[in-house]
Amino acid sequence: MDIYYLFIWWLFFLVVGLINFPLTWFLFRKSFDLGYGFSKTIGLLIVSYLAFIGASAKVLPLSQAILFVILLLTGVLGAFLAFKNESFLLTLKKSWKIILLQEIIFTLGLVLWTIVRSYAPDIRGLEKFMDFGFINSILQGKYLPPTDMWFAGKELNYYWYGHFFAAVPIKITAIPPAVGYNLMLGTILGVLASGAFSLVSTLVKSLKSASSKKAISAGIISALMLVFAGNLHTPIYLVKNGFDKYWYPDATRFIGYFPETQDKTIHEFPIYSFVVSDLHAHLLDVPFTLLFLGILLSLVISRKNNVYRLLAGGITLGVMFATNTWDFASYGMAAGLVILFTNLSKKKGALKSAVSVFLQVSAMALVGLLAFLPFLLNFSSIAQGIELVHSHSPLWQLGVLWGFPFIMTVVFLVLVKRIRKEIEAADVFVLGILAASWILILIPEIVFVKDIYIASHYRANTMFKLTYEAYVMFYLASGYIAIRTVGAVKKVLKPFVAVAFALLFTSLLIYPFMAVNSYYGDLKSFQGLSGETWVEKFYPDSYEAILWLRENAVGQPVILEAPGNSYSDNNLISSYTGLPTLQGWFVHEWLWRGSPALPQERVDDATIIYQTTNASQALTFLKKYNVSYVLIGSFERERFPNLDEAKFLKFGKKVFTAGKTSIYQINN
């Protein structure tokens, strides 16, 4: 069955990519692969965006039929564009080999990570309950914004569009969500690899002296580095402590931990995200950030139809705002620097260049915000202001984390200085994203965005989000810098420089072997793709309750389960059904609601409902939150030792029993 699901999923994305390839070509016709590496992202983005607008306006419900119709309409548009443009068909015939290579890259990424996930597919631990709950709430709901599955009666107050993007193919293919969750992780890995290949191969191919061989080599290097590479922490500490003592999360929890200080930070990267498999906002947004950078590159190397590229870039910025809001500002800044450097390289003058940057970036930002106005109108920022930091990262630790980008930047700057009279648009583009990346590294050393996290982690979230973005751009540039440098040095030095780059890259590509072997147990126990089989094993009664609710609950009725602690197995049923409960993970709702008072009020009310012996009082609170089903199982019995179950029969009926777990349906 897993092979069937994988095939259906792959076939869906193949179709999405092919029918949207003509539109992608329209934006990326100067790209080495004609933009095919972005066609799947663009295709699903179009389908999801149209569904987003329809569901936000309460006009089109989020049904499989509606999504099929939207997909069909995009196919009709694609066919029209394909047969209207003879140049598209001609270039397609010339480039079919590179397009086939791109499809192979995507497929290898999808299949590889799907296989890896099948050895530990559980949707459990870290923030997987949250991510899966978002997806299930979207799948269960009829319109948007999604209902908060952990705060009944309210919408999600978080950047949730990436989860909506993930829910759309699950809805269309009718693949079980617990399987689709894991397939989506493989999909993201595949589109990151193909997107990186598309962008970097195009950079190299745009050079005057470039060859297809060099373009392909650079694209493959960047794809591997972006998707799989870690930082210098791994080779340094493997040499220092040995393979047996290396613990892969240390590369993401280093400053503040070694040695222990009260300034604990987070600095993750894509392969760590894939290994721990939280389908979280920062990972879901990377396909869009690559698409935006691809559009930006197309914008600066093309002289025609830039209005369309500005519109496409703006919509993509809007997607990023609704998926991972931090990226909106960071990549907007990167766009500004790339456009500024490009204008200055053309000797347009500082003032004229600055005005051009302001107009183009402002236009894209405005388009993005207007395109996602339905999201903006239902979103309240969870940030609490910006403040100056009161601690700084030791230079040696920054060197461990960012030594590789530093080396690559220095090498590239030396190269640029040497070829300054022959600098090309691709060089300027890379300079722009490198500059943006270093600014993102510097910001958490100066200011931080204040949130609810404790003093010892006060700048952790700021560093996490900004340095993740920096990592993407740094490692994306690695293939270009390597190939450009090897091509520019004297012939006698080429083998030595190539070997030096190979050794450096290999030292960073050790990380996934360490991490996968640790997290997935050396891939010794195949378990399949379903992320919920663990529930049947550890919580069989709850699993039966989940199945019953999926079968019998109509729409999104409110359920009541015990309020739980964040990062635990609490609120399993609301997460796995998408049905809203009174109060879920406490710290998360504290973050999303801006105060602990609101979730605490609901915790208190839930406590009264479960423990009071006064049936009338319990019913009053149940009606207050429009509760349809009350769950009583192991979590409830543990949380409420004085639980009074008998009263629920006075105003409801028991509709489900499995072991010590019961569900009571409350009378209307």
pLDDT in tens, 621-660: 999 999 999 999 999 999 999 999 999 999 999 999 999 9
Reported confidence tier of residue 167, pLDDT bands at 50, 70, 90: very high
* Residue appearing with tokens 């590179």: 98
For the four alpha carbons of 541, 545, 546 and 551, in that order, the dihedral sign comes to: positive
Closest-CA residue to 374 (of 590, 24, 60)? 60
Give the least confident one: 160-164, 234-238, 242-246, 540-544: 242-246
Which tokens hold the place of 454?
């404790």
Q: Strand pairing of 558-560 and 627-632? A: parallel
Torsion of CA 521, 527, 531, 534, to 10 degrees: -90
> 561 and 621: one domain?
yes
**Counting Cβ atoms within 10 Å, is residue 660 exposed (0-12), middle (13-18) or buried (19+)?**
exposed
CA distance 29 to 21: 10
* Residue appearing with tokens 């978080």: 158
Contacts of 76 (CB under 8 A, 6+ apart): none
CA distance 55 to 42: 20
> 428 and 458: one domain?
yes
Domain termination residue (choose one: 464, 495, 519): 519
Instruction: Judge whether 528 lies within some domain.
Output: no
For the segment 525-531, the average pLDDT, to the nearest whole number, is 93
Torsion-angle region of residue 385: left (phi > 0), alpha (psi -120 to 50) or beta?
left
- Please report the pLDDT score of residue 5 as a whole number: 97
CA distance 346 to 360: 17
Instruction: Judge whether 143 lies within some domain.
Output: yes
Peptide bond into 259 cis (omega under 30): yes
> 23 and 143: one domain?
yes
Q: At what angle do helices 586-593 and 597-611 cross, to 10 degrees?
A: 140
Is 341 a residue whose pLDDT tops 90?
A: yes
> 247 and 344: one domain?
yes
Reported confidence tier of residue 35, pLDDT bands at 50, 70, 90: very high
Which tokens hold the place of 42?
């663009």
For the four alpha carbons of 635, 640, 643 and 647, in that order, the dihedral sign comes to: negative
Contacts of 346 (CB under 8 A, 6+ apart): none
Domain termination residue (choose one: 519, 550, 570): 519
Domain termination residue (choose one: 519, 547, 582): 519
Which tokens hold the place of 344?
């200055």
Identify the CATH number of the domain in which residue 603 sits.
3.40.50
Which tokens hold the place of 341?
């450097």
More confident of the two residues 544 and 490: 544
Which tokens hold the place of 594?
């801006």
User: Could you read off the pLDDT of 200-209 as tens digits, one per residue?
Assistant: 999 999 998 8
Distance from first CA to last CA of the chain, Å, rounded?
Answer: 41
Q: What are residue 554's phi and psi, to 5 degrees?
A: -100, 125
> 202 and 333: one domain?
yes
Is 166 a residue whose pLDDT tops 70?
A: yes
> 594 and 481: one domain?
no
Is 277 a residue whose pLDDT tops 70?
A: yes
> 353 and 205: one domain?
yes
User: Could you read off the pLDDT of 115-147 as tens digits, one per residue?
Assistant: 999 999 999 999 999 999 999 999 999 999 999
The radius of gyration computed from the CA coordinates of the chain, to the nearest angstrom, equals 26
Q: What are residue 514's phi and psi, to 5 degrees?
A: -65, -45
User: Could you read off the pLDDT of 228-264 as tens digits, one per residue?
Assistant: 999 999 999 999 999 889 999 999 999 999 999 999 9
Instruction: Judge whether 266 lies within some domain.
Output: yes
- Please report the pLDDT score of residue 346 as a whole number: 84
* Residue appearing with tokens 């760590």: 272
- Please report the pLDDT score of residue 305 as a whole number: 60
- Please report the pLDDT score of residue 195 as a whole number: 98
User: Could you read off the pLDDT of 88-114 as tens digits, one per residue?
Assistant: 888 888 889 999 999 999 999 999 999
Percent of the chain with pLDDT over 70: 99
Is 525 a residue whose pLDDT tops 90?
A: no
Residues 127 and 240: beta-carbon distance below 8 Å: no
Is 456 a residue whose pLDDT tops 90?
A: no
Q: Strand pairing of 652-658 and 661-666? A: antiparallel
For every residue of 601-641, DSSP letters joined together read HHHHHHHHHHH-S-HHHHHHHHHHTTEEEEEESHHHHHH-T
> 478 and 560: one domain?
no
* Residue appearing with tokens 């602690």: 565
Length, in residues, of the chain: 668
CA distance 273 to 188: 11
Is 422 a residue whose pLDDT tops 90?
A: no
Instruction: Judge whether 526 lies within some domain.
Output: no
Is 1 a residue whose pLDDT tops 90?
A: no
Instruction: Judge whether 121 lies within some domain.
Output: yes
> 484 and 399: one domain?
yes
Please state, rounded to an integer, the average pLDDT across all residues of the chain: 94
Instruction: Judge whether 524 lies within some domain.
Output: no
Is 303 a residue whose pLDDT tops 70?
A: no
Instruction: Judge whether 525 lies within some domain.
Output: no
**Counting Cβ atoms within 10 Å, is residue 384 exposed (0-12), middle (13-18) or buried (19+)?**
exposed
DSSP assignment letter at 269: -
Q: Which long-range contacts (CB under 8 A, 24 or more apart) does 93-102 make?
A: 95/33, 95/34, 98/32, 98/33, 98/36, 98/212, 98/216, 99/33, 99/34, 99/36, 101/33, 101/216, 102/33, 102/36, 102/37, 102/194, 102/197, 102/198
Which tokens hold the place of 301?
């190397």
Which tokens hold the place of 429?
């583009």
CA distance 395 to 400: 9
CA distance 612 to 630: 14
Instruction: Compute CA distances 152 → 358, 589, 626, whole Å.
Output: 43, 11, 9
* Residue appearing with tokens 């539109």: 23
CA distance 564 to 553: 22
- Please report the pLDDT score of residue 304 as a whole number: 67
> 572 and 438: one domain?
no
> 42 and 114: one domain?
yes
- Please report the pLDDT score of residue 446 as a whole number: 97
Instruction: Judge whether 166 lies within some domain.
Output: yes
> 135 and 35: one domain?
yes
**Counting Cβ atoms within 10 Å, is residue 537 exposed (0-12), middle (13-18) or buried (19+)?**
exposed
Planar angle of CA 14, 530, 654, nearest 5 degrees: 125
Domains of the chain: total: 2
CA distance 294 to 35: 8
Q: How many CB atoms lie within 10 A of CB 345?
A: 16
Is 324 a residue whose pLDDT tops 90?
A: yes
- Please report the pLDDT score of residue 455 as a whole number: 82
User: Could you read off the pLDDT of 363-408 as tens digits, one per residue?
Assistant: 999 999 999 999 999 988 877 789 999 999 999 999 999 999 999 9
Q: Tell me which residue range forms the domain holding 513.
A: 2-377+386-519
* Residue appearing with tokens 């990151």: 192
Which tokens hold the place of 563?
């309020």
